[in-house]
Each structure stands twice: as structure tokens, then as C-alpha cells.
Amino acid sequence: MTKKNSKYLIFALLYIAYCILYIDRAAMNIAISSVARDFGLNASQSGLVLSAFYISYAFIQVPGGWLSDKFGSKIVVIISIVMWSIFTMFTGFSWSFTSLIIIRFMFGIGEGPYTAASLSETSEVFGYKNRSKATSSMLSSNYIGSAIAPVIVAPLIIAFGWRLTFHVIGILGIAFVIVYYIVVRPIRKNKIKSDSKKVSKKFNLSNILTNKMVWQFIIITLGISMVNKGLDSWMPTYLLKIRHINIKSISYLVPLPFIAAGIGAFSSGWIMDRFFKNKEKLIIALSSLLTMIFVFEMYNAKSLTSVIIFEVIAYFFKSITFASTYALFSKIITQDNYGSSIGLLNFGGQLAGFISPLAMGCLVDMFNGSYNAAFLFLVFSVGIAFVASLTLNSNEIRKKCENAEKFEIETV
């Protein structure tokens, strides 16, 4: 197999694994109404179930990235998929609210290292010049997986119940990891030498934590991620309870925003390189502003059709913001600490996964079942991302990109 073909095969396998990851994750968002009914949970408790995954997922990001830098991305990818698949299956065995929280917490630990490992692998095989486009393209899998999830999960819940559904999708992950291990192993043999060199490098966390620009990127990621983490978690329940659609209709309506988001994420790297070179912060600021506008319009919408239309548009621009942020960040960091740095950035995004579902659940309870305050909370969160994007320094970004590219050339 040629080097060109092998890198696209690796990309395809990592992309499929990302889709499976999001199917497993989205399953609880779709099943939460059934789970809450069986366990007698209120909105706040349901929000805690949805958030339990994200708190462990967020705090494992930096350790997961460090493990990827130290031991190589392949082994981290395999362990991560095996762990999250096992705890997906265990979700179907939960017997109480407490057991559900613990299992979802462990599920987050299993999934946590995958993002840094998969993006590190992508960066390795595609090189610096194609890094931003490859990164944004890989991140589009998040939305494709989320779009596929309702089509798979909703019919399974209808036919077999939520417990068996988690068993089935967990087995899917185990089957995939066997294929990944067999196929990728011979391709990665020629990487052993370069990986051993990478192990010798040390990651200085303090240098990154004291870097102002890193925190600007983290705040942008945190703010924009509040939207998808909140809506991913609560839109199925909102559509069922407030808009009075049935769970069968969920499988048709819920995927639409994710399809739009997938298109936005997949194209964002190309758009940034083609039209926003040396002024990348503008695409992040503009798309976050448009996201804020359309989330607000979704809050004001009177009909179900309007809600879906504005949600689709909001997800499109949100995904451009999100993917462009990651794509630009990937250009200013060096490959030796790539996994650790991406893990730190992803910590901000996944921290939103803990805050947003829980905050929205509490706001729904506080306002007697109304989602108005919860949607306004998302508008405010995107506003924070917009303001943070305006504070980025284009000259400083350009210098860091030049240093990262120089490091890449010297390493090769």
C-alpha cells in the first residue's frame, strides 16, 4: 500500500471510530426520556446524568493527550475505544440513579483520550501544510456521527427498549476496534522510529498554562461548545415534551442540524486557508456572531418548523467556529506536544459538556418546565466566545504559525 493510500485509510478508520463515538454518546441524549421515566428522574437529575459523562471526559483530556504523545496514538486509540464500548454496554445494566452516574462517569474516562489521539494521528500522517484542513475534516465526523445516531438509536429503542440499545451499540465498538487493530498495525510499522524520538521529548505544561493565547482559544471553545452540548442533550426532550412530537419523528428531525454542522466543519479548514489566510480570527468571530444571532432566533421561534430551521443554521455556523478554532490552534502548536496541547484545548470544549446540560436542566426546573431561560443561557455563552475571538492577535498568530512550520521542517 502506498504512503498516500495508507494515510487516507488511517483517516477513514479514525473518522468511522469518531462516528461510533458520537453514536454511543448521543444514545443517552435520545434515551434520557425513557431512562428518566424508568428511574423516576426530574429534569435536574436527568441533566446530572447527561453531565456526569462530560466532567470525567473533560478532565481526562490533558492526561489523554500526554499519553498519546508518550506512547503513540495507536495504542491510546485502541484502549479508548475498548473502554468506552464496554461502559456503553454497562449502561444497559444500570439498576439505579447512582449506578447510572458512576457508569456514565467511567464512560467519559474511556472516551476522553480519543480526541487528542485521533487528531495527533491525523496531524502525523498529513503533515503541517495540510494539518488545518485534515483537522477540520476529521472534526466533521462529530456531526455526522450525531446525525446518524437518531436513525440508529431511536428505532432500536422503539423495538427493543433503551437497555438492549446500549448493549448493541457497545458491541459495535468492540467489533470496530478489532478491525482497526488488524488493519492499522502494518501501516504504523514505519512510524516506530519516529515515535521513539517523540517519546524522549518533554511536555512543559506550565509554559502552555501561562500562555494568554491558549486561554483565549480555550474560552472560545468553551463558549461555542455550550451550544451543541446543551442542544445535543436537551433538544430531543424539548421536541418530545414541548413540541409534542413522538420518538419516531426524532429520528428524522434531530439529524438535520448535525448534517448542516458536518458540512460546515468539513469545509471550514478549506475556507480558512482560501479566504482568511493571516486573518483567521475573522472567520471565528464572524461565525460565532452568526451562531449567536440564530440561537436567539430559535429562542424566539413560534412554530416547530422555525425552531428546526434556525437550529440547522445555528449548527452550521457553530461548527465553522468550532472547527476553525481547532484548525487554527493546530497550526500554532508543534507536533512533539500536539496531543497534550489539543487535549488542553478540548478540555475547554468538554467542560461545556458538564456545565451546559446541568445548567439547562436546572433552569428548566427553576422556570417550571419552560426552556426560555435555558436558550438565553446559550445565547450568552456564544457571546463570550465572540468577544474572546475579537481579542486574538493576528500578528502573534502569524509568528506562532511560522515557528511551528519551521519546527516541522527541521524535524523532517
Give the per-residue SS3 of the chain. Answer: CCHHHHHHHHHHHHHHHHHHHHHHHHHHHHHHHHHHHHHCCCHHHHHHHHHHHHHHHHHCHHHHHHHHHHHCHHHHHHHHHHHHHHHHHHHCCCCCHHHHHHHHHHHHHHHCCHHHHHHHHHHHHHCCCCHHHHHHHHHHHHHHHHHHHHHHHHHHHHHHCHHHHHHHHHHHHHHHHHHHHHHHHHHHHHHHHHHHHHHCCCCCHHHHHCCHHHHHHHHHHHHHHHHHHHHHHHHHHHHHHCCCCCHHHHHHHCHHHHHHHHHHHHHHHHHHHHHCCCCHHHHHHHHHHHHHHHHHHHHHCCCHHHHHHHHHHHHHHHHHHHHHHHHHHHHHCCHHHHHHHHHHHHHHHHHHHHHHHHHHHHHHHHCCCCCHHHHHHHHHHHHHHHHHHHCCCHHHHHHHHHHHHHHHHHHC
Dihedral, 232, 238, 240, 241 alpha carbons, nearest 10: 150
Mean pLDDT confidence for 264-272 = 79
Is the model's pLDDT at 348 over the cut of 90? no
Helix-helix angle 61-71:114-126, to 10 degrees: 40
Condensed to tens digits (0 to 9), the pLDDT of residues 115-128 reads 878 887 877 777 76
What percent of the chain is modeled with pLDDT above 70?
A: 85
Is the model's pLDDT at 225 over the cut of 60? yes
Nearest 5°: CA angle at 33, between 60 and 162?
75
Condensed to tens digits (0 to 9), the pLDDT of residues 130-181 reads 777 777 778 778 778 877 887 888 888 888 888 898 898 889 889 988 888 8
Q: Worst-scoring range by mean pLDDT, 27-31, 91-95, 195-199, 221-225?
A: 195-199
Is the model's pLDDT at 287 over the cut of 80? yes
All structural domains of the chain, each given as residue ranges with its CATH number in brackets, are: 3-411 (1.20.1250.20)
Amino acid 408: pLDDT: 63
**pTM beyond cutoff 0.85:** no
* 372: its cell numbers: 426560555
Q: Worst-scoring range by mean pLDDT, 31-40, 231-240, 333-342, 350-359?
A: 333-342
Q: Tell me which range, 113-127, 246-260, 298-312, is most confidently predicted by mean pLDDT.
A: 298-312
What percent of the chain is modeled with pLDDT above 90?
A: 10
Q: What is the CB neighbour count within 10 angstroms for residue 44?
A: 14
Amino acid 341: pLDDT: 75
Q: Which residue has the higher pLDDT, 401 or 11?
A: 11
